[in-house]
Amino acid sequence: MSTVTWITARGLFGRSRFLMLLPLPLVLIGLAVLCRSLGVDPGQWGPPVLVGLGLAVVLPVVALIVGTGVLGAEIDDGTVVHILTKPLPRWQIVLPKLAVAAGVSAVTVGIPIYVAGVLADSVRLGLALVAASAAGALAYSALFLALSLVTRRPVLLGLVYVLIWEGLLGRFVGGTRVLSIQQWVIALADRMAPTPLLGTTVSVPVAAVLTALVAVGFTVLAIDRLRSFSVAGETS
C-alpha cells in the first residue's frame, strides 16, 4: 500500500462530508426492505429500485463525488503541488488514486445493491449486480478522475454526463444508450444473472469491450494530463 493510497483514503474519510454519501445507500436498502416486507411483487418494485435508484442514481452520484474528490479536491485547494513535486512517476499518483476511488465507490454501492438484489430475486442476482456495479464504478471513476484533470469544473461536467446524457437523452433518444456506462452495467449484470428485472438494448460484448476501453482510456488520459499539469489559481 503506497503512501499516495494512504493519503487519498485519509483525505476521503477524514472529513465529515463523507457522511453526505451515506443517505444514498441507506435509502436503497430501506426501500428494498420496505417493499419486501409489504409483499409487493418483485417484478414491480425491482426495476425502479435496482435500476432506477441503484444503477442510475446511487452508482453515478457516489462515483462522481468520490471520483472527482480524490484528485479534484487537492487541485482545488492547491495541495496537489506537494505530491507533484515528489520524485514519483505520474502513473504512481494516478493509479493509487483511481484504485481508492473505484474501491470506495464499489463498496459503497455494492453492499446496498447486493442486499436489494437478494431481496428482489436471488443471491445470484445480488452477486451479479455487485460485480457489474464494481466494473461500472471503475469506469465511472476513471472518467471522473480524468475529467478533474481536464477541466476546472469536473463536477458540473460530470453532472452534464450523468443527468443529460444518461438521464435525459438515454430515455428519449435510444441511440445514445450504446455510449452510456449505466446501460453497460445493466447489460453485464443481466448477462451474469438473466432475470426479467433488468433489460437493455446494448449487447453484452459491446458493453464489456466499451467498459474496459473507457476504464483504460481515461486512465491513460489522466496520466498524460497529469504529466503536463499546470497549477493555476482559482478561476472566476
Partner 1 sequence: MSDATGVIHDIGYQRYTGPRLGRRQVFGALYLHGVRTVFGLGRSAKAKIFPWLVVSVVTVVAAGVTAVRSQIGEVVMTYAQFADAMSWLVIFFAAVAAPELVSRDLRSGVLPLYFSRPLPRGDYALSKLLALVTALWLLLGGPQLVMFLGAAFTTNRGVRGVWDELLDLLPGLLYAGLWAVVFASIALLVASLTGKRAFAAGGIVAVFLMTTPVVGVLSILPSATVNELAFLASPPTLVGGVGTWALGDALTQGQGGGMPIGDFGPVYAAVAVLLVAGCVSLLLLRYRKVAAR
Q: Which is nearer to partner 1, 160 or 216 (CB)?
A: 160
Q: Which is nearer to partner 1, 123 or 163 (CB)?
A: 163
Q: Which is nearer to partner 1, 54 or 103 (CB)?
A: 54
Measured CA to CA, the distance from residue 96 to residue 140 in angstroms comes to 16
Q: Which is nearer to partner 1, 37 or 85 (CB)?
A: 37
Smallest distance from partner 1 to CB 119, Å: 13
Smallest distance from partner 1 to CB 157, Å: 9
Smallest distance from partner 1 to CB 24, Å: 6
- At which residue does the C-alpha cell 453526505 appear? 20
Q: Which is nearer to partner 1, 10 or 86 (CB)?
A: 10
> What is each CA distance from 6 to 18, 54, 96, 175, 195, in whole angstroms?
16, 29, 9, 41, 40
Q: Which is nearer to partner 1, 22 or 206 (CB)?
A: 22
Smallest distance from partner 1 to CB 97, Å: 16
The grid cell for 41 is 411483487
DSSP per residue, 148-205: HHH-S-HHHHHHIIIIIIIIIIHHH-GGGGGG-HHHHHHHHHHHHS--TT---SS-HH
Smallest distance from partner 1 to CB 58, Å: 8
Which distant-in-sequence residues (6+ apart) come within 8 Å of 233 by Cβ?
none
Residue 146: name the closest of 68, 222, 86, 48 by CA.
Answer: 222
Question: Which residues contact partner 1 (rule: CB under 8 A)?
Answer: 17, 20, 23-24, 27, 31, 34-35, 38-40, 44-45, 48-49, 52-53, 57-58, 61, 64-65, 68, 72, 76, 152-156, 159-160, 162-164, 167-168, 235-236
Tell me the CB-side half-sphere exposure of residue 157, using CA atoms within 13 A.
Answer: 16
The grid cell for 200 is 437493455
Smallest distance from partner 1 to CB 23, Å: 7
